């Protein structure tokens, strides 16, 4: 029997009942009150059963969830290993699918692509290594100068300097490099950190910047197109092996003569190359090694390169009494 037929039969039954009550001397208002009271009685009779049924279901779900949680906590290692092993072959296809799904979103917000190459979007300033072995820096007492530099290996942790064959690059040469490759720089590296407070553009730095400006700029590059342009004017240093140089580079321009810290690089083996001007550099021991290692200092002259490991030392450029602009290139090797 269909729902329509059931409803029609129910309606006919109510009509017959109403007719019988009216024939027996009952008014329509009395019948209506009696009918509504009967419906409320049925609703009150069903409600406790429904409430009780829902409460039982709720407690069952909570109990099952608690048992699953206790099982996961008790046997976490085996469950984690099993999940990782079974999902290993799906990681790459899943990430590939996610990348394809994100293409429409990236098309709407193309500026988000600058974060593709970021290993860490937000650094933790309170990060420290527990029980860090500081012997590589504990025996170093000065920064030696090398006269016949060779490609270094990852075992070379002691800092040193040497004079490179790098040509001097001043602001005018940087400006010409930017103008010749303006489209690439504006697209790939459009932001320059100014005084560690705000971002400006390459156009402002080379075109709109006031002549008497006293600031320092950190221009970060993190892609292959810009790396190819920089390689034409800043060749790979001799101490950096042919393979392993990080794509991440920095150009630092300082006209403020104030002290500032060199940014950490992607790889721990880093170099600071003076392209123009000279400044005193202090290598400060890392927080974990400051009680075992001593701070070092060196005068970094034009075209000189300082090789160091930022895992143990953090370089800081010191203030200067002169008025020359200091331009440096920062790179790293893994």
- Tens digits of per-residue pLDDT, 211-265? 878 888 999 888 778 888 888 888 888 888 877 778 888 999 998 888 888 888 8
Topology annotation, domain 135-333: Jelly Rolls (2.60.120)
pLDDT of residue 48: 55
Domain ranges of the chain: 3-74, 76-108, 135-333
Q: Using CA of residue 286, residue 277, residue 208, residue 233, what is the dihedral sign?
A: negative
Other Cβ atoms less than 10 A from the Cβ of 254: the count is 23
Contact 259, 282 (CB under 8 A): no
Longest CA pairwise span in the chain (Å): 124
Q: Return the number of other C-beta atoms located less than 10 Å from residue 92's C-beta.
A: 9
Q: 92 — phi, psi (to 5°)?
A: -65, -50
3-state helix, strand, coil in the chain (%, to 5): 45, 20, 35
The reported pLDDT for the residue numbered 51 is 59
Q: What is the mean pLDDT of the chain?
A: 80
Question: Low-confidence residues of the chain, pLDDT below 50?
Answer: none
- What per-residue confidence (pLDDT) applies to 330? 92
pLDDT of residue 42: 57
* Cα dihedral sign, 94-96-99-103: negative
pTM for the full predicted model: 0.65
Question: What ranges in 129-180 are assigned the alpha helix state H?
Answer: 135-138, 171-180
CB contact at 8 A, 236 and 270: no
C-alpha dist (Å) from residue 138 to 284, 296, 312, 313, 314 = 12, 12, 10, 11, 15
């Amino acid at each position: 029997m269909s729902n329509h037929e059931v409803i029609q039969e129910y309606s006919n039954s109510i009509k017959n009942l109403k007719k019988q009550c009216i024939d027996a001397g009952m008014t329509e208002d009395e019948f209506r009150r009696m009918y509504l009271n009967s419906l409320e009685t049925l609703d009150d009779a069903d409600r406790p059963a429904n409430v009780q049924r829902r409460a039982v279901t709720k407690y069952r779900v909570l109990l099952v969830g608690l048992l699953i949680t206790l099982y996961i906590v008790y046997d976490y290692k085996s469950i984690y290993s099993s999940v990782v092993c079974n999902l290993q072959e799906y990681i790459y296809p899943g990430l590939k699918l996610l990348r394809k799904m994100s293409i429409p979103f990236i098309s709407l917000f193309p500026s988000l692509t600058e974060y593709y190459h970021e290993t860490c979007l937000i650094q933790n300033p309170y990060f420290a290594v527990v029980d860090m072995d500081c012997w590589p820096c504990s025996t170093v007492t000065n920064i030696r100068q090398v006269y016949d530099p060779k490609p270094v290996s990852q075992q070379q942790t002691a800092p040193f300097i040497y004079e490179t064959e790098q040509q001097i690059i001043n602001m005018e040469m940087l400006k010409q490099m930017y103008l010749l490759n303006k489209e690439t720089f504006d697209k790939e590296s459009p932001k320059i950190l100014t005084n560690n407070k705000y971002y400006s553009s390459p156009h402002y730095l080379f075109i709109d910047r006031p002549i008497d400006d006293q600031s320092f700029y950190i221009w970060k590059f993190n892609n292959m197109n810009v790396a190819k342009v920089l390689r034409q004017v800043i060749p790979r240093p001799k101490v950096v092996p042919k393979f392993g140089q990080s794509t991440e580079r920095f150009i630092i321009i300082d006209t403020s003569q104030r002290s500032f810290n060199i940014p950490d690089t992607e790889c721990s083996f880093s170099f600071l190359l003076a392209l123009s001007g000279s400044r005193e550099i202090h290598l400060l021991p890392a927080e974990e090694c400051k009680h075992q290692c001593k701070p070092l200092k060196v005068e970094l002259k034009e075209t000189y390169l300082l090789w160091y490991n930022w895992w143990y030392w953090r370089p800081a450029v010191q203030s200067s009494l002169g008025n020359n602009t200091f331009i440096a290139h920062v790179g790293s090797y893994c």
